[in-house]
């Protein structure tokens, strides 16, 4: 039977991830910081590379915790 509040509650994890993403985005929209990107730097490329590196780091972490660590 599904029960809220357990250590592996899927709904609780989804809510936590949503809040970890949504709260900073809402704060940035509310504060409206004035970022000045140096001339000659493509901001879209920086954001794209950051997301790419984050995805690779997350994939490596999941491999380490789910596969590598369980083999030991």
Q: b/e map of 28-38 (b: 16 or more CB within 10 Å)?
A: eeeeeeeeeee
What tens digit of pLDDT does each residue of 27-63 get?
A: 888 888 787 878 888 888 988 999 999 999 999 999 9
**26 and 58 belong to one structural domain:** no
> Where residue 67 falls among pLDDT bands split at 50, 70, 90?
confident
**20 and 52 belong to one structural domain:** no
> How much is the pTM?
0.50
Domain of residue 66, residue span: 36-72
Q: Token pair 């809510």 is at which residue?
A: 15
**25 and 43 belong to one structural domain:** no
Both structure tokens of 27: 């704060």
- Count how many domains the chain has: 2
The pLDDT value recorded for residue 2 is: 52
**10 and 42 belong to one structural domain:** no
The pLDDT value recorded for residue 3 is: 55
Gap between the Cα atoms of 7 and 12, Å rounded? 9
What tens digit of pLDDT does each residue of 14-27 get?
A: 888 888 889 988 88
- Confirm if 60 and 53 have CB atoms less than 8 A apart: no
């Amino acid at each position: 039977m599904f029960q809220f509040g357990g250590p592996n509650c899927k709904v609780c994890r989804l809510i936590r991830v949503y809040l970890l993403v949504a709260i900073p985005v809402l704060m940035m929209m509310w504060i409206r910081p004035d970022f000045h990107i140096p001339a000659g730097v493509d901001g879209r490329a920086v954001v794209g590379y950051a997301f790419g590196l984050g995805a690779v780091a997350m994939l490596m972490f999941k491999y380490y915790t789910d596969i590598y660590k369980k083999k030991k």
